[in-house]
Structure 1
Amino acid sequence: MKNPPSDSPVHRRYAPTALMFGNLVTGCSVLAPAGMLVELSSDLGVTVRAAGLLITFGAVVLCIGSPLMAWLTSRIERRSLLTATLAVLALANAASALAPDYTTLLIIRLIMLGVGALYTPQAAGTAALIVSPERRGGTIAYVFLGWSLAAAVGLPLITILTSRYGWRTAYGGIGVIGAFSFLLLAWRLPAGLIGARVDLKTWTDVGRNRAIIVLLLITTLQMSGQFVVFTFMGPLLVKLTHAGPDAVGLVFAIYGICGFIGVAIASRIVDSWGAYKTSVLFTVLVLTGITGWALSAGVYPLMACSVAIWGLGFAATNSMQQVRLVVAAPALASASVSLNTSVLYVGQAIGSAIGGLLYSRDLLYGSGYAAMAFVALALMTVISTRGFGRAKG
């Protein structure tokens, strides 16, 4: 790794915030269809399940693209790489607003996410380059706040904008935010940052590292369980509780705000608690919330409360996974964090596919229990990793 030859304290102070806003744009780009499934289905003449495939197919592209792009771009200076990625996201969201049909929208999305796959792992790796080792865990968690903001603010706004002004307006709004984030990152991220080179030996070393493999399995299980429900949370609320657009948007807002709170707490406590204990805490919260969703299905207030508990853990668990991977093998961080992002999207694809199957067969109550099973396995696996990285948690 190489630090920039010269950069001001101001740049280093605000660079994590610029990286965090880039994750906000990435998160909105990935999650957007979840807030507009009904409107996309109606306007484009496809089923809700087909609209949900925008998330499923997108996740497949992301899971392949993340390690591939990490390999192809490992020698590129980070400011140039990350700003170019945000430019593509901004332009692709603007193009999505003009898509004439479902096929065109899907193609644009796949191209957009094929490039966007590199942002989150490279942002995490870049954050590790610009702070001291003792601040690394908290900074990586802070950078991941962008995803929490995407769920806390972005997704509810997307849901409300779509219900009132249409999905094209929502995509246009993401494009505008993407352009702003591009400018902010170009302004504040120091030049000259080069990460560790990713080559064939790097992937071989990752594959031989038991700690990394088990941590990647945890991410897959966590995401699979959550996306069984999350992908279709809006339509499920409508069918189970007859909730309107504002009530659905409120649940998304609760989910995201609690996610923001959860990851903010995690970023404060991880350096003192250690990543293992922090990970156990927030995985328990996810399991508790999803269990509440399953048991209270059909009762809107109880489902909303369950989503609040679930939300406290959803972003924090993944940020802890990134911290634990960096701590487990710092020299392999560029590859392992990109693989974590990849398996995160594998989990999204698995979960949304299962959720879509259950939804299409009208097994609406079963989705919560399927989600519980995945997250319970994830928790048991987290507990089994107590001995990993004892020095740092």
Structure 2
Amino acid sequence: MPHRSAVLVLALGAFAIGTDGYVTTGILRSIADDFHVSVPVAGQLVTVFALSYAVSAPVLMTLTANVGRRIMLYGSLGAFLLANLLGALAPDYPTLLVARVLAGAAAAVFMNTAVAAATAMTGERHRSRALALVMGGLSVATALGVPIGTVIGALGSWRTTLGLITGLAGLGIVGLALTLPATPSPPPITMAARLRVAAEPAVLLAVLANACAVAGSFTVYTYLAVFAREVTGLSAAGVGWVLFAWGVAASVGTATGGRLSERRGPDRAYLTGVLGVVAAFAALALAALVARVAEGPATVVFLAATAAWGVLYWIVPGAQVQRVMDRAPAAPTIAVSVSSASSYLGVALGGGIGGATLSIAPSWTLPLAGTLLLTLAATLTSRQLPEPTTPRPLPSPQDA
């Protein structure tokens, strides 16, 4: 594959962004304690990052359509570095909140530009492989970056975790300087073109279902570290291992989802993942209730359900990409960007709903709140399932 080193550097940038986007989940308690705010309030750091990403992606990519890719990559990764440095040094909660908004906007520009640059550098023949490497940076962040950042935050400080992400962004900038070739700018995509694709009924229904599915899962994931400690009694470092297990399960789910989509089609694979998460959430709620009388068995059930959830949820993203591309064959790239924005809207919505739930109810109700959103996603998805094909009956002798 041509320019493999540059693609790997882009994957490193994606790893830093993926870690930054999700690691707040594991260090919420430390942030809340440092700034003397509640955990639900601290959880809004996840919400504002995701909301900033979702809103900034189409707007900033449209406004910077005529800017060269090299400038976009350096500028966005540099802004991401500064935003995390500001977060690591934040003297108060409002400053940290602003830093998360800036980091989300920079992350959106970098990821969209990195995907376009990777495909342009490697050509049509190696496009799928290049995309897999760049997007793999996000998957590896889920499996390794988030739990490592959580453990670092538990052993040291959440500020150290953000400092580590700042360092990763710095390495990415150096790597770009050493490896990035000149790449032509793509034809600009107007906001009107993006809105036209998003407004197509089939695409709109698919992205609405996706926003609900992601929101349902992140209603729990945003507060997983807090939830796990209350149910299992694990230490903060032990919760890091729970997040690691979820990340490893995510890798299994990504691979499983690809095969399932090939065999049953992306719509049925997507629905399988969503309904599977509903079942896993039922087990999580049960474990939380049982923990009051039998913590040991509850811990086993909780960990098993968390691993199953990781596998089943990560069937969804790959299937979703295929779903929206199938529904917009004339503009698949735009459809994928619209779907990506819906995913981050879902993360923001899930963080907000999870925080509101924790403010008025015990933590075991989080999976129940998530299940409501997942059920809505399943309902919307089932409306788009293709009709099963049935063999045409052979003509009878009388018909002949």
Short-chain TM bin: 0.7 to 0.9
d(CA) in 2 for partners of 1:199, 1:46: 41
d(CA) in 1 for partners of 2:329, 2:160: 42
Aligned to 1:283: 274
Instruction: Give the partner amino acid of 2:370.
Output: A
Question: Does the alignment pair 1:234 with 2:225?
Answer: yes
Distance 1:141 1:327, change over 3 A: farther
Question: Does the alignment pair 1:145 with 2:136?
Answer: yes
Report if the CA contact (8 A) 2:215-2:348 is conserved: yes
Identical aligned residues as a percent: 26
Report if the CA contact (8 A) 2:257-2:314 is conserved: no
SS at 1:10 equivalent: coil
d(CA) in 1 for partners of 2:258, 2:68: 27
Q: Which range moves more in the overlay, 331-340 or 210-219?
A: 331-340
- Deviation for aligned residue 1:213: 0.9
Specify every segment of 5 or more residues in structure 1 that has no aligned partner in the other structure, as ranges: 1-8
d(CA) in 2 for partners of 1:285, 1:193: 43
TM-score for both structures, normalised by structure 1: 0.86
d(CA) in 1 for partners of 2:196, 2:125: 25
Report if the CA contact (8 A) 1:142-1:263 is conserved: no
Question: Does the alignment pair 1:332 with 2:331?
Answer: yes
Question: Does the alignment pair 1:57 with 2:48?
Answer: yes
Aligned to 1:370: 369
- CA deviation map 1:197-251 (0-9, x unaligned): 2114303421442222122112201111011111111111222332211221111
Match of 2:2 among 10, 15, 18: 10
Aligned to 2:392: none
- Deviation for aligned residue 1:135: 6.8
Aligned to 1:320: 319
- CA deviation map 1:126-154 (0-9, x unaligned): 45545676876665455322222222111
Report if the CA contact (8 A) 2:198-2:338 is conserved: no
d(CA) in 1 for partners of 2:152, 2:106: 26
Report if the CA contact (8 A) 2:40-2:354 is conserved: no
In the TM superposition, what are the counterparts of 1:109-120 in structure 2 within 5 Å?
A: 109-120=100-111
Report if the CA contact (8 A) 1:140-1:319 is conserved: no
Distance 1:275 1:59, change over 3 A: same
- Deviation for aligned residue 1:312: 1.5
Aligned to 2:347: 348
Question: Does the alignment pair 1:300 with 2:299?
Answer: yes
Q: How many residues align?
A: 380
d(CA) in 2 for partners of 1:74, 1:246: 44
In the TM superposition, what are the counterparts of 1:1-393 in structure 2 within 5 Å?
A: 9-11=1-3, 13-129=4-120, 140-266=131-257, 274-297=265-288, 298=291, 299-329=298-328, 331-387=330-386
d(CA) in 2 for partners of 1:25, 1:218: 28
Instruction: Give the partner amino acid of 1:219.
Output: N
Aligned to 1:4: none
d(CA) in 2 for partners of 1:282, 1:17: 29
SS at 2:376 equivalent: helix
Cα root mean square deviation, aligned: 2.8
Distance 1:79 1:219, change over 3 A: farther
Report if the CA contact (8 A) 1:224-1:371 is conserved: yes
Instruction: Give the partner amino acid of 1:203.
Output: R
Report if the CA contact (8 A) 1:20-1:143 is conserved: yes
SS at 1:261 equivalent: helix
Report if the CA contact (8 A) 2:218-2:350 is conserved: yes
d(CA) in 2 for partners of 1:16, 1:287: 36
Report if the CA contact (8 A) 1:221-1:375 is conserved: yes
d(CA) in 1 for partners of 2:264, 2:8: 24
Q: Which range moves more in the overlay, 144-153 or 332-341?
A: 332-341
Specify every segment of 5 or more residues in structure 2 that has no aligned partner in the other structure, as ranges: 292-297, 390-400
- CA deviation map 1:52-111 (0-9, x unaligned): 111122222222112111211233333432332222222322232211121211112212
Instruction: Give the partner amino acid of 2:10.
Output: L
TM-score for both structures, normalised by structure 2: 0.85
